[in-house]
Homo-oligomer: A and B are copies of this chain.
Amino acid sequence: MSPSAEVISLHTSRRRNCGDCEVFARCLGRTGSAQSIEALGTIEASATLVHRNDHVYRAGDAFRGLHVVKAGCVKAYVNSESGEEQVLGFYMPGEIIGFDGLAQGWHLSSAVAVGTGSICELPQARLQRLAADHGEVHDTLMNWCSLELVRMQHLVQSMATRSADARLAGFLVDLSDYHARHGYSATQFTLPMLRTDIGRHLGLAVETISRVINRFRRDGLVTIERQQVHIHDLDGLRGLVHPHTDALGEAPRRDSA
């Protein structure tokens, strides 16, 4: 894990108002009251180009502000004392990262680009000023932080109660939902992250990820080749997500001969 790249700050494009950004409506302008959205539109941010393994921030870094994933995919993770990496989440375009840094003034987790992408920084001072001037912005920020909390609660629930199959099915369904929400195909998309990282995210070994994908393929649920995902039976996949202890005499065995 040494070949990691520097923390970003390299290539920045011109600074401009967020409200003028072509993806504003899917980003800061996605939620909140009209006043809040208008206020957030006045933030000036510059998108930074990032490449695979570029860090957005690292655990221990001083908190400079929140970051928005504008393009690409960002992996948030923590390292345990014994060096293992736990992936807390994968963040897609329009999603905001860095809330854990608000707790103590420095980050407790790290964020790294999964592939080529683009990141905007929302400077803390600017956000504070905005929140002070517009109560609605404060509400919106709290909403986002709370949403992040809920996201983590779901992950906890998933890891504590679901089987490997259910976890991976849930992971794929979540990705599918994201794409559908944003107007892309719910059944055909790319899987930008490594199998290893999916495993570290779901609390499973890489080999298990591989085997489960295989099982799904055999059962005709999906075709996953390299990074390309085709979901053939989205409902079937959804059905796998929840434990369903209902099988009183009828176990959910799907055998394609």
Stretch at the interface among A44-52, A133-141, A177-185, A229-237: A133-141
Stretch at the interface among A9-17, A19-27, A114-122, A146-154: A146-154
Select from chain B the residue with minimum beta-carbon distance to A142: B102
Name A2's contact: one of B101, B152, B160, B256 (CB within 8 Å): B256
B153 touches A109 (CB 8 A): yes
Q: State the CA gap A110–B21 with chains docked (Å).
A: 39
B156 touches A88 (CB 8 A): yes
Q: How many residues of A contact B (CB 8 A)?
A: 55
Q: State the CA gap A16–B211 with chains docked (Å).
A: 60
Check A225 for interface membership: any CB of B closer than 8 A.
no
Check A173 for interface membership: any CB of B closer than 8 A.
no
A157 touches B80 (CB 8 A): yes
Q: Nearest Cβ distance between residue A28 and chain B, in whole angstroms?
A: 17
Residues on B with beta carbons closer than 8 Å to the beta carbon of A190: none
Q: Nearest Cβ distance between residue A119 and chain B, in whole angstroms?
A: 20
Q: State the CA gap A102–B32 with chains docked (Å).
A: 12
CB contact under 8 A between A149 and B242, given known A157-B86, A159-B160, A252-B83: no
Q: State the CA gap A138–B133 with chains docked (Å).
A: 12
